[in-house]
Amino acid sequence: MNIVTPQAYAREIAAEAVPGLPADFRWGVATAAYQIEGAAAEDGRTPSIWDTYCRVPGMVVRGENGDAACDHYHRMPEDVRLIADLGVDTYRFSLAWPRIQPGGRGPVNERGLDFYKRLVDELEARGITPWITLYHWDLPQELEDAGGWPARDTAYRFAEYAALAHDALGDRVEHWTTLNEPWCSAMLGYAYGNQAPGRKNFGDAIRAVHHLLLGHGLASRHLRETAATRGDALELGITLNLGTATPETGSHEDAEACRRADGMGRRLYLDPLVKGAYPEDVVADLARQNAELPVQDGDLAVISTPIDVLGVNFYRGTLFSGVTQEGSPVDADGLPVTRGVERDLPRTAMDWEITPTALTDLLVGLEKDYGVPTVVTENGAAFDDSVSADGQIHDAGRTTYLADHIAAVAAARARGADVRGYFAWSLMDNFEWSYGYDKRFGIVRVDYDTQERTLKDSAKWYRDTIRLTRTGTRTGTGDSESDGG
């Protein structure tokens, strides 16, 4: 297969206003606590499942971990200044559960909570809106030892933690996301074992799906009730990692493969969240695999507590086939096949196909099927960029990627999708989970030896594009690649 290289994909792109994005369109950058904070054992923080998983030989590239990460815990004011310099209006970040409520039970840890109070102070002082994610994968290890997300009690523990965090910050922070990518937490963590906690049990993963959604619903109810009682402004949501499923051919087998992929990746989460019921065809598919969602009376009413916004994390669309490489429509166990098909498309350093038009299709489809306003809460690309002889990072591939996907958002709005914002992933290079520090998603480079931050060309382009779009100016001054980081 002739795979197009990132170098062939990259184009020289000048910053200019993006037609179709309104003045109140939200521009942001995003991070996650375990990936950037470091200070893993400071101020009362206890281990999360990722601290434990990183110590398992062979699970993370070079055995790396988030103990130091980007040292954001100590460099937070500097990083907020950097965010402000980018001209974004919103910073999406996650709270570390084991920092705020060590062990996942009991009272709040004031020393840990103080860090986030100071962060909100810094953001407010610079006119940046904080957008909080309550859970970005760092389950306290003690709760995993007690059963983790496959255990129903974890949903109640999450709601308790969410209440502690919101009670402390809800009078100052309006935008709250309960969970980041529950598909990853459930499937990668409990079915496939290639993310924390590293279990491989499909039945456990499906139980985790339900309990993650139940935790979302329980937390959402508390946040709504508290905000109403206190008179706090609240925009409540959840973030899902979503893609598109396109059939390779017009065959029945390929159509079925897409139905199953869409069912497990999109409808299994959005149907109960928005419609108050799990999709019947997916429940039947799960039964064929001897897996069952552990629904109890009243659960779906809790899960479908109304949300104000749906966070969409998008990285790629996928072409699916319903036959094996040998031509069979079933696998060795007699179950229908759902197989991703590789295409002659440019790829990122993660070996992910670059498919910006799929983002347009996804956002338009979400509007049609669910009618919930959306924000692209993550979109970005890892490339093997490096420091050039001039001391700069000329990451034309990433700039092209951002430009194409922001244009895809504008195209979705033109087709009627209520998309209200775009957050680049990520603010800075960071600990990329099982890949350790091997993959760089940041628009800001981090030298992990010195912790020096340097704006990449993509950051300068993003900054200038935001400014020009806000002001309605057609093109920039041409200086986006000349100023230093």
Q: Which residues are catalytic?
A: 181, 378
- The sign of the CA dihedral 189, 29, 140, 63 is positive
- Cβ pair 47, 141 in contact under 8 A: yes
Q: Which residues, including other chains, have CB under 8 Å from residue 384's CB and lie 6 or more apart?
A: 6, 349, 440
Q: How many other C-beta atoms can be found within 10 angstroms of the C-beta atom of residue 43?
A: 15
What's the full length of the chain, in residues?
A: 485
Distance CA 105, CA 329 (A): 48
Token duo for residue 49 = 């499942």
Give how far Cα 185 sits from Cα of 215, 257, 362, 363, 437, Å.
13, 23, 22, 23, 20
- The sign of the CA dihedral 347, 351, 356, 358 is positive
Tell me the pairing of strands 318-321 and 339-341.
antiparallel
- Cβ pair 54, 443 in contact under 8 A: no
CB-count exposure of residue 449 (10 Å: 0-12, 13-18, 19+): exposed
Cis peptide before 426 (omega within 30 of 0): yes
Residue 141, SS3 per DSSP:
helix
Q: Which residues, including other chains, have CB under 8 Å from residue 3's CB and lie 6 or more apart?
A: 344, 345, 346, 347
Distance CA 324, CA 404 (A): 33
State the SS3 of 305-338.
CCCCEEEEECCCCEEEECCCCCCCCECCCCCECC
